[in-house]
Structure 1
Amino acid sequence: MSERILVFYGSYRADRLGIRLADYVVRTLRSRGIEAELVDAKAVDLPMLDRMYKEYPQGEAPEAMAALAGKIRDADGFVFVAGEYNWGVQPGLKNLTDHFLEEWFWRPAGVISYSAGRLAGARAGLAWHGTLSEMGMVVISSTVNVGPIAKTLDAQGRPIGEAGEALDTSFARFADDLTWWSEAARLQKTRKAPPY
Structure 2
Amino acid sequence: MFKTLVFYGSYRSDRQGIKAAKFIIDQLQQRNHEVIFVDAKEYDFGILDRMYKEYDPGQAPAKMTELAEHIRTADGFVVITGEYNHSIQPGLSNLMDHYLEEYYFRPAGIVSYSVGGFGGVRAAIQLRSFLGEMGMVTISSMFAISKIGNSLDESGTPQEASLTKRFGQFLDELEWYEEALQRQRREKGTPY
TM-score class, shorter-chain normalisation, is over 0.9
Q: What's the counterpart of residue 169 of structure 1?
A: 165
How far has the Cα of 1:166 moved from its partner? 2.7
Q: What's the counterpart of residue 176 of structure 2?
A: 180
Q: Which runs of 5+ in 1 are unaligned?
A: none
Q: Where in structure 2 are the equivalents of 1:1-196 lying within 5 Å?
A: 2-160=1-159, 164-196=160-192
* CA–CA distance in structure 2, aligned partners of residues 65 and 108 of structure 1: 21
How far has the Cα of 1:142 moved from its partner? 1.0
Runs ≥4 in structure 1, deviation > 4 angstroms?
none
- AA partner of residue 170 (structure 1): R
* CA–CA distance in structure 2, aligned partners of residues 189 and 10 of structure 1: 28
How far has the Cα of 1:32 moved from its partner? 1.0
* CA–CA distance in structure 1, aligned partners of residues 165 and 85 of structure 2: 28
- AA partner of residue 92 (structure 2): L
Preserved contact between residue 112 and residue 143 of structure 1 (Cα < 8 Å): yes
Q: Which runs of 5+ in 2 are unaligned?
A: none
Aligned residues: 192
* CA–CA distance in structure 2, aligned partners of residues 167 and 118 of structure 1: 14
* Between 182-191 and 126-135, the greater mean CA deviation after superposition: 182-191
SS of residue paired to 2:58: coil
Question: % of aligned pairs identical?
Answer: 49
Preserved contact between residue 144 and residue 167 of structure 1 (Cα < 8 Å): no
How far has the Cα of 1:37 moved from its partner? 1.9
How far has the Cα of 1:10 moved from its partner? 0.6
